[in-house]
Chains A and B, each alone.
Chain A
Amino acid sequence: MDFKLELLIDLAIILVFLGGFRLFRTPRGARSGNLLAAFALLMAVAVVLWRHRILQPELVLIALLAGSLAGWMVAMSVNMIQIPAMVAFQHGAGGVAAFLVSFVELTRGAEPGMAKISGLLGLIIGAVTFSGSLIAAGKLANLIKQPPVVLPKHSWLIIGLAALLAFGGASAGGAEGQTLVYHLLALIVLSVALGLVFSIRIGGADMPVLISFLNATAGLAAAFCGVIIQNRLLIACGATVAASGSILTHVMCKAMNRNLLKVFIGFQSKAADKPEALMPDIVPQPDNPPFGRADAAPASPAAGDPLAAAVEAGQSAKSIIIIPGYGMALAQAQFLVVELATLLEKMGKLVRFAIHPVAGRMPGHMNVLLAEAELDYDKLCEMDDINPEFKNTDLAIVVGASDVVNPAAITIADTPISGMPILLAHEAKRVLVCNLDARPGYSGIENPLYQQNKAILLFGDAKTSIQSLIKGLSQGIEPTR
């Protein structure tokens, strides 16, 4: 076929893909965008089948059908809490496809130079993505323990494996024939080992960073794969996905105040060897006695029955912001939380949800969980938009979140969360905390919010707490009807 025509067709398909991304501004547009991207991919497959004669069509068809059917069945059966595990698993599947294609193309004898280097990179990155994603998926599905597993000399192990890969890759660059095959097999083993060692040390709460990063590497592997088979569509799609994954990784790191290197290589932050530096400003204020909350403020309703205090706070508040965290999802309380929000709205209150960027186990996960509970997405507010609103808000309700509302991030220096952007729940007039217990969040930093006078602590299973709150509130409003 004419080279120019081929180029034009490729460009047209790439434009359709980009159009799909362009539509990802509103949920409704995103639906069309997703369909558009799926259509573009179908076109890309059609173009390949048209340009090249497939020698074993029946074999290809069976593989296509089997894979598609499995993908469809899994996608239809997972629930929204399982989405991160499912996405991680799929990254792994994509990684395998990328390294297998690179392997076959390399053994067929790629031109030395650019093509061969790209093929080697596709092979290595694909294999690392594969094993890294499987560990991530296992952790997200609770098949592997979530806390980081740290091996002796873990950082050096990672660096050593990476160095071996670089060395092996360079050596494979000059190899040919059977020697090359052995080289490639060794590279795959090393890459899989690197992916395992690298992911196993990343803890549950850092999953949003890991999963975004694997999104980027899956795209990068596809792009390199595209160079060796000289397919522009593969390069364009892979590069776009790599850009997307990188943006999400950056957003997640910023929202957790983590440096990518710290998450991955795990070097201790310098905070560990410094003594408690700055004393917090807001904690020791006279009206916020830090300790003995109940003794210091016997008149406070918080001193008595927390449920009664919570119901009273809910009744008297005019404006309410609900802050859901992953604890809510773990307790499967999102449906009840939305029910609570609906009830409060019926009582004539302004109710909004404040979503921290890292709430959940992947970027934006909390929004999907609440959308599943049929919450109107107009009520889901981003951190930067909602934070100025807290000081004019009567009640902030925290459900299963700790670190993302921990004022220590602002007031205490040199903790793992210092400088991390938080939701300013402590600025609200009252704060109702519906967490399992007073234990600190993932960071291990105590939350001084719990010590404040305006805090009502309704500890226990979020489902039970919210249920009794709903009961208390609906009994409270009945007489007025």
Chain B
Amino acid sequence: MNALLIMLCVFVVSIVIGYLLISRVPPLLHTPLMSMTNAISAVTILGALLIFAVTTSATDKLLGVVAIALAAFNVVGGFVITERMLKLFKNK
């Protein structure tokens, strides 16, 4: 029950802090912001890794491999493209 309460708190507090921080991002940076959050949303890679933390069936292994590969694609692709984009922004 304690763990559940902490999870609920983490959820609510993250939404509030996320809201406060992100509403101050200028529209200039909205595309890089979305591509970075896109990478972060693939944090499900943690869950995909945990599939392999217990003995499991062949089906689960297959699903786990697919999940890890896609999440890794999303994480790496997201951060790299964000960096490429932000590098383009220049001023004198």
Which A residues are within 8 Å of any B CB, using their own CB? 7, 14, 17-18, 20-22, 24-25, 27-28, 30-31, 33-35, 37-38, 41, 44-45, 48-49, 52-56, 59-60, 62-68, 70-72, 74-76, 78, 80, 83, 86-87, 90-91, 93-94, 96-98, 100-101, 103-105, 107-108, 114, 211-212, 215, 218-219, 221-223, 225-227, 229-248, 251, 355, 357, 360, 362-365, 367-368, 371-372, 374, 376-378, 380, 382
- Asked, given contacts A215-B34, A229-B50, whether A41 binds B43 with beta carbons under 8 Å apart, the answer is yes
Partner of A34, one of B4, B17, B21, B32: B32
Q: Which residues of B contact A368 (CB under 8 A)?
A: 31-32, 85, 88
Verify A374–B90 contact, CB threshold 8 A. yes
Verify A247–B23 contact, CB threshold 8 A. yes
Least distance between A206 CB and chain B CB atoms (Å)? 16
Residue of A nearest to B87 (CB): A31
- Asked, given contacts A238-B43, A382-B26, whether A215 binds B10 with beta carbons under 8 Å apart, the answer is no
- Asked, given contacts A97-B74, A235-B7, whether A245 binds B37 with beta carbons under 8 Å apart, the answer is yes
Verify A37–B47 contact, CB threshold 8 A. no
Verify B44–A215 contact, CB threshold 8 A. no
Least distance between B9 CB and chain A CB atoms (Å)? 9
- Asked, given contacts A52-B53, A222-B41, whether A212 binds B88 with beta carbons under 8 Å apart, the answer is no
CB contact list, B46-68 vs A, under 8 A:
46-56, 60-61, 63-68
Verify A105–B47 contact, CB threshold 8 A. yes
The A contact surface, by secondary structure, is helix
Bound Cα distance from A70 to B68, whole angstroms:
12
Least distance between A144 CB and chain B CB atoms (Å)? 21
Q: Which residues of A contact B71 (CB under 8 A)?
A: 67, 93-94, 97
Q: List 30 A-B contacts (CB under 8 A).
A: A27-B29, A34-B82, A44-B43, A45-B45, A54-B52, A66-B69, A67-B70, A75-B84, A76-B84, A87-B34, A94-B71, A97-B42, A97-B45, A97-B67, A98-B47, A101-B51, A219-B37, A223-B11, A232-B7, A236-B13, A239-B12, A240-B14, A240-B37, A241-B37, A241-B40, A251-B27, A355-B27, A363-B34, A374-B88, A377-B91
Q: Which residues of A contact B40 (CB under 8 A)?
A: 17, 37, 41, 219, 237, 240-241
Partner of A97, one of B13, B36, B48: B48
User: Could you tell me how many residues of chain B have their Cβ less than 8 Å away from some Cβ of chain A?
Assistant: 82
Given A24-B36, A227-B7, 14 more contacts at CB 8 Å? A25-B26, A35-B83, A55-B56, A60-B65, A87-B34, A94-B38, A94-B42, A231-B47, A239-B12, A243-B14, A364-B30, A367-B31, A380-B28, A382-B27
- Asked, given contacts A211-B34, A382-B26, whether A71 binds B44 with beta carbons under 8 Å apart, the answer is no
Partner of B15, one of A93, A108, A239: A239
Q: Which residues of A contact B7 (CB under 8 A)?
A: 226-227, 230, 232, 235
Verify B44–A222 contact, CB threshold 8 A. yes
Verify A56–B60 contact, CB threshold 8 A. no
Least distance between A405 CB and chain B CB atoms (Å)? 18
Least distance between B36 CB and chain A CB atoms (Å)? 5
The B contact surface, by secondary structure, is helix
Residue of B nearest to A96 (CB): B70
- Asked, given contacts A31-B83, A37-B36, A90-B78, whether A63 binds B72 with beta carbons under 8 Å apart, the answer is yes
Least distance between B52 CB and chain A CB atoms (Å)? 5
Verify B51–A38 contact, CB threshold 8 A. no
Bound Cα distance from A236 to B44, whole angstroms:
11
Bound Cα distance from A382 to B28, whole angstroms:
8
- Asked, given contacts A101-B44, A247-B19, whether A72 binds B26 with beta carbons under 8 Å apart, the answer is no
Q: Which residues of A contact B50 (CB under 8 A)?
A: 48, 52, 229, 231
Verify B46–A90 contact, CB threshold 8 A. no
Bound Cα distance from A62 to B83, whole angstroms:
25
Verify B65–A80 contact, CB threshold 8 A. no
9 closest Cβ pairs, A-B complex: A67-B72, A364-B30, A71-B77, A27-B89, A243-B18, A240-B18, A71-B76, A67-B69, A239-B14
Verify A232–B41 contact, CB threshold 8 A. no
Verify B10–A235 contact, CB threshold 8 A. yes
Least distance between B76 CB and chain A CB atoms (Å)? 4
Residue of B nearest to A78 (CB): B81
Bound Cα distance from A376 to B60, whole angstroms:
51
Bound Cα distance from A342 to B69, whole angstroms:
45
Bound Cα distance from A91 to B17, whole angstroms:
23
Verify A56–B61 contact, CB threshold 8 A. yes
Bound Cα distance from A54 to B77, whole angstroms:
25
Q: Which residues of B contact A235 (CB under 8 A)?
A: 7, 10-11, 14
